[in-house]
Structure 1
Amino acid sequence: MPEQTKGTGHIDPGIVEDLGGLTVIRGGGDSRGWNGILYKQGMSAKNVGAQALSINVATVPPGAVAYAHIHEGFEVMLFILQGTVKHTFGEGLQREVINHAGDFIYIKPGVPHEVFNIGEEELIVFVARSAADEWDKIVDYPSQYRPPKGA
C-alpha cells in the first residue's frame, strides 16, 4: 500500500530540469502516495512553481479505494488510461458512475466522491487540477470504507 500523506508527499526537486521558461520531469518522476493512490511526482507549485494547476498520473491497485473526499475550490479532470473505475458521488455518495480506459471525467469543486478500482488490473489515470498545491485543499468526507483513525 502506498505511503499515506496529506499534502506532504515527498517531492524530489533534483529530478526537475528548469530550462528557463520550460520545465521538464523525465519519466514522470518518483512515485508517492496519498489516500490509497500512488502518484507519479508530476508537476505542481512544490517543484515547478506552478500558480494555478497541477498534474499527476495516479495508479490505484485492483480492489483499492480512494476514500471519500471533497476538492475545496478547485476543479479536477481525469483521463482513464487503463482499467475500470467506479465513482460514488454526490450528497451521501448516493449516485454512481462506472468509467473505462479512454473516458474523461470532470469533477466540480465541492462534490463529494469516492473512487473504487473495480477492475482486475491497475487503474492508471491522468489527473489535472486547477490548484497548484495538489492535496492541500482536499477534505475527508464520511465513508463506510475508511478505517477508524488510529486503526
Structure 2
Amino acid sequence: MSGEKNEGEAPWKFDGVRVIKGDQLDANTAQTPGMLRQAAVNHARVGAQKIWAGTVRIDANAKTGVHHHGSLESVIFVIRGKARMRWGERLEFVAEAGPGDFIYVPPYVPHQEINADPAEPLECVLVRSDNEAVVVNITDVDPVEKPEEVYWVDPIHKHPHEHGS
C-alpha cells in the first residue's frame, strides 16, 4: 500500500492513528465532586466507537457514592497515589492499589471508588468499554466509607436538589 487514497479506501491520513497530547484533554465530561475526569479518546474527539479513555484525578480523601456502570467494563491504571475500591452487594469486599497497578471493574458490580490517602491526590488513567457514561447510583446500600455528598452530575443527570427537572 502506498498510503494514497484509492476509491473505497479509508483516508488514513485523517482517519488513522491519532495522538492526543496530555495537555489537550477534554474536561467536558461527566464530573463528580472531588474528582476531575478528562477525556482523551471518545467519539466526539477521535470518532471512537467502542471505547472511552481518559484521566481521573481524585482529591485527597475523596469518595464516590455506591454505583455501577451497567454493562460497561472499566480498567483503572494508577499513576500516582493510593486507590481503595469497595465492592459487593453491601461493599463487603475491599482492595487497594498503588502506582503501576491495574484495577478491573466488571459490568454491574456495585462499587465505591476512594482515594485512600488523606493528604495526596490520586491520579489514574481510566478506560471504559463504551463511549456512553453509564452510571447507576445505588441508594439502598449504606457505604462503609461515607462520601461528603457525591452525585453524578452532567447534562443528562441533574443534581437531585436542582429545580426544574
Percent of residue pairs identical: 26
Q: Which has the higher strand share?
A: 1
Cα contact 1:35–1:67 (8 A) shared by 2: no
Give the alignment's Cα RMSD to 1 decimal: 2.1
What's the secondary structure of 2:16's corresponding residue? coil
| Mapped pair 1:110 → 2:105 | no
Q: Distance in 2 between matches of 1:20 and 1:102?
A: 31
Q: Distance in 1 between matches of 2:16 and 2:53?
A: 18
Q: Which runs of 4+ in 1 moved over 4 A?
A: none
Q: Distance in 1 between matches of 2:82 and 2:16?
A: 37
C-alpha distance after superposition, 1:109-144 (max 9, x if no partner): 0001101111121100111111122x1x21112254
Partner of 2:136: 139
Q: Distance in 2 between matches of 1:46 and 1:140?
A: 25
Cα contact 2:39–2:52 (8 A) shared by 1: no
Gaps of 5+ in 1: 1-17
Gaps of 5+ in 2: 1-12, 152-159
What's the secondary structure of 2:120's corresponding residue? coil
Instruction: Please give the TM-score of this superposition, normalised by the length of structure 2.
Output: 0.71
Partner of 1:128: 127
Partner of 1:65: 63
C-alpha distance after superposition, 1:32-80 (max 9, x if no partner): 5512320123211222211110101100010111222101111111111
Q: Which amino acid aligns with 1:141?
A: I
Q: Which structure would you say has the larger Rg?
A: 2
Cα contact 1:40–1:58 (8 A) shared by 2: yes
Instruction: Please give the TM-score of this superposition, normalised by the length of structure 1.
Output: 0.77
Deviation of residue 87 (structure 1)?
A: 0.9
What's the secondary structure of 1:46's corresponding residue? helix
